Amino acid sequence: MRRLRRHVNPTPCACSDYGARQDRTIIIKGKQAAPRSRYPLWTWRHVLLVMMVAAIGLISSGSSSVASAAGQEAEQQIVAVNSDDITAESESSLLPAPNPERSDYPNIGVSSRSLVWVIAQMHLFFGALVLAVPIFVLVIELIGFRTNDDRYDDMAHEFMKISLTAYAITALFGGALALSLFLLYPDFMTYLTTRVFGAQMLVYATLFFLESLLLYVYYYGWNALRYGNRKWIHLTLGLLLNAVGTTLLVVANSWTTFMMAPSGIDTVGAVVGNIWEVMRGPLWNPLNLHRFIANIAFGGAVVGAYAAFKFLCAKTAAEKAHYDWMGYTSNFIAILAFLPLPFAGYWLMAEIYAYSQQMGILAMGGILAWLFVIQAVLICTILFAGNYYLWTGMARTEGSHRYRWLIKYIAAVLVLGFLVWVTPHNIIFTGDEIARLGGRNHPVLAPLGIMPAKNIAVFLMLIFTFLSFQIYRRADKVITVSWESWANALMVAIYIVASANVIFAGVYYGYFTNTVYKVGSSVIQVGSTLVVIVSGVVIDTLMFKGAKTLPVSWGKISGRSQYALFALPVAFTWLMALMGYVRSSVRTHWHVYAVVKDNSADNFIPTLQHVGNMVTFATVLFLMFLLFIFWVANLSSVKQVPPVGLASRAAAAGVA
């Protein structure tokens, strides 16, 4: 049966503010409906219809067929009225998004944006660490269980100590963030939490408590569930911990991507879709992948710094060997996760461009473009530090002399790539400088300032960083397969063809074709780089079967290498803060892009100087907390030696 639809005037109530409009509504089954009288019209209709049915039944008691027909007609009318009323209620519940005025934002005497900025960034730092560490800890624990090697189990347990110590700080900053957001942006947070995501917030809170329970049981039950079938119980707990943590990550990401690219709402911000349609925006999956990979790289860098800290404080050769091995494993995790990270970032930026060219151009070609020069410096710092640690680590093995001649060529590619990457395209010159240059752009270096040249530099640096990783893995191996020479020749050919492909695609599509085809060069370059990485892993895995392993002298590494491990989390932290600001600021003066406008006193893009100061402050603050976490984690293993007199008295009491 067709529904009778009641046309409702969508014009909002002419009240003085949004809060007044909310006060004049009533709640029906969790949804706001339009104001109505105490006794709605449909109640009187029902009463009249029932009275009519009763009268017809009394008059026509001798004719049941007539009474039955009358009753069916009355029921149809009641159903029609119910359908009409439900449709009207659902339409009236589609309230538009709020439009807060400047006076609706509390003034606390300091910049609300700066306060929320620092708290949110600290929560993201610690949240990334807490969610990432259990992922590779579970893998390390499984390796130790399969190989029956307690060293892996001990290392995984010690890594979890960092995550457990950071968890409480994560929760504190999370609570502070929630309080500050509701206090400083009440209308926006009410719209986001009650009308858009609603019950999902309760799901998030439930997941948080479940994460806490699993984390503490997983860590404190380690030794109680270490061997035999109990180990499977412990591994299951770790798997559940990571499943809950990853779910927390993707749920929180849906809030971020909704603010950038809203879905499940109409043009005025009224929610018209279910919770899945709201979450599944165009940027949700790209951000999920990007943050998942970035968190693992970040977590590996942080625990690597902890291993370096313990290595420099070690007193015995056994301790140095243990923490040297931990540092190598951490660097392996950080670099291995970092290599595919640019591809995930490329996917995210491509989706941002596809959703809104204005946001994409602002990020890559507007005022924010200068921040990508700083990004280049930080990424190159990560690559230099990771490569340097691998090169110095080759001194542990006897067979490293076979590959050391390649280091100078890898370093040359990294340096040249860095110089190209940091070359800006547009620089502010004085009139005299422009006259001496003959124009606004340098006659020789100008072509290096645009994206095609930078893409060539980035992908070549990634390819040669993988080469460093590959020769490090081969340094302690003596290949015994008969087809070794053919495999090496194939690997060399793959490197040459992939490098030539990266250069050709960047030059041809970047400088000799229409601008619309420049994006195509990136796809070719990404594919070439992935072919090198995948082929190298597969070929080496096959060649290592039956290979002779040379002895590795753990702990025999220079102290300088440990400072490379310290450089990794510094650069990663700075980079996360910087790129997080770029991603957030492309919304410009919108809380929810093109839906909820930011009318606060901070509804503008700050100066680059202010951005640099805020990012640096958040980075330094996190590093200070990180040193505190290292100190606390180390303090738990320190035992005070009892005084001589107290020890002798205790011994005498024991004898007695």
Q: Over the stretch 349-383, which tens digit does the pLDDT of each residue have?
A: 889 988 998 888 888 777 888 888 888 899 999 99
DSSP per-residue letters across 258-310: HHHS--SB-TTS-B-S-HHHHH--TTHHHHHHHHHHHHHHHHHHHHHHHHHHH
Looking at residue 645, its pLDDT comes to: 65
Calpha distance 208→171 (Å, rounded): 9
Looking at residue 519, its pLDDT comes to: 65
Sign of the torsion formed by the C-alpha atoms of 400, 401, 407 and 409: negative
Does 191 score more than 60 pLDDT? yes
> Reduced to 3 states, what is the DSSP secondary structure of residue 385?
helix
Does 86 score more than 60 pLDDT? no
Section 599-604 average pLDDT: 91
Q: Where does the pLDDT of residue 72 fall: very low under 50, low under 70, confident under 90, or very high at 90 and above?
A: very low
Section 101-105 average pLDDT: 92
Provide, rounded to the nearest whole percent, the portion of the chain with pLDDT above 90: 52
Q: Where does the pLDDT of residue 117 fall: very low under 50, low under 70, confident under 90, or very high at 90 and above?
A: very high
Considering the domain boundaries, does residue 627 fall inside one?
Answer: no
Looking at residue 95, its pLDDT comes to: 86
Calpha distance 107→184 (Å, rounded): 8
Section 305-311 average pLDDT: 93
Q: Scanning the structure block, which residue is given the tokens 């991603």?
A: 583
Calpha distance 557→400 (Å, rounded): 13
Does 227 score more than 80 pLDDT? yes
DSSP per-residue letters across 163-210: HHHHHHHHHHHHHHHHHHHHHHSHHHHHIIIIIISTTHHHHHHHHHHH
Label residues 588-621 b or e (16+ Cβ within 10 Å = b). eebbbbebbbbbbebeebbeeeebeebbeebbee
Considering the domain boundaries, does residue 48 fall inside one?
Answer: yes
Calpha distance 449→602 (Å, rounded): 32
Give me 414's structure tokens. Answer: 């990294």
Q: Are 371 and 442 in contact (CB under 8 A)?
A: no
Q: Where does the pLDDT of residue 51 fall: very low under 50, low under 70, confident under 90, or very high at 90 and above?
A: very low
Print the domain residue range for 71. 18-95
Looking at residue 647, its pLDDT comes to: 56
Calpha distance 641→497 (Å, rounded): 63
Section 387-394 average pLDDT: 92
Q: Where does the pLDDT of residue 515 fall: very low under 50, low under 70, confident under 90, or very high at 90 and above?
A: low
Provide, rounded to the nearest whole percent, the portion of the chain with pLDDT above 70: 83
The mean pLDDT of the chain is: 82
Looking at residue 50, its pLDDT comes to: 38
Section 576-588 average pLDDT: 92
Query: Comparing 569 with 49, which gets the higher pLDDT?
Result: 569
Section 97-112 average pLDDT: 91
Q: Scanning the structure block, which residue is given the tokens 């313990």?
A: 310
| Of 93, 90, 50, 96, nearest in space to 74 by CA | 50
Q: Over the stretch 415-439, which tens digit does the pLDDT of each residue have?
A: 999 999 888 777 777 778 777 777 7
Considering the domain boundaries, does residue 361 fall inside one?
Answer: no
Q: Where does the pLDDT of residue 31 fall: very low under 50, low under 70, confident under 90, or very high at 90 and above?
A: very low
Considering the domain boundaries, does residue 33 fall inside one?
Answer: yes
Section 560-586 average pLDDT: 93
Considering the domain boundaries, does residue 306 fall inside one?
Answer: no
Looking at residue 512, its pLDDT comes to: 83
Q: Where does the pLDDT of residue 236 fall: very low under 50, low under 70, confident under 90, or very high at 90 and above?
A: very high
Looking at residue 651, its pLDDT comes to: 58
| Of 396, 408, 292, nearest in space to 344 by CA | 292
Does 604 score more than 60 pLDDT? yes
Domain count, the chain: 1
Considering the domain boundaries, does residue 303 fall inside one?
Answer: no
Report the chain's terminal Cα–Cα distance, integer Å.
96
Contacts of 264 by beta carbon, 8 Å cutoff, 6+ apart: 196, 271, 272, 273, 274, 275, 277, 278, 279
Considering the domain boundaries, does residue 410 fall inside one?
Answer: no
Looking at residue 211, its pLDDT comes to: 94
Q: Where does the pLDDT of residue 272 fall: very low under 50, low under 70, confident under 90, or very high at 90 and above?
A: very high
Considering the domain boundaries, does residue 24 fall inside one?
Answer: yes
Looking at residue 448, its pLDDT comes to: 83
Sign of the torsion formed by the C-alpha atoms of 372, 376, 378 and 379: positive
Q: Where does the pLDDT of residue 522 fall: very low under 50, low under 70, confident under 90, or very high at 90 and above?
A: confident
Looking at residue 563, its pLDDT comes to: 93
Section 599-611 average pLDDT: 91
- pTM reported for the whole predicted model: 0.79
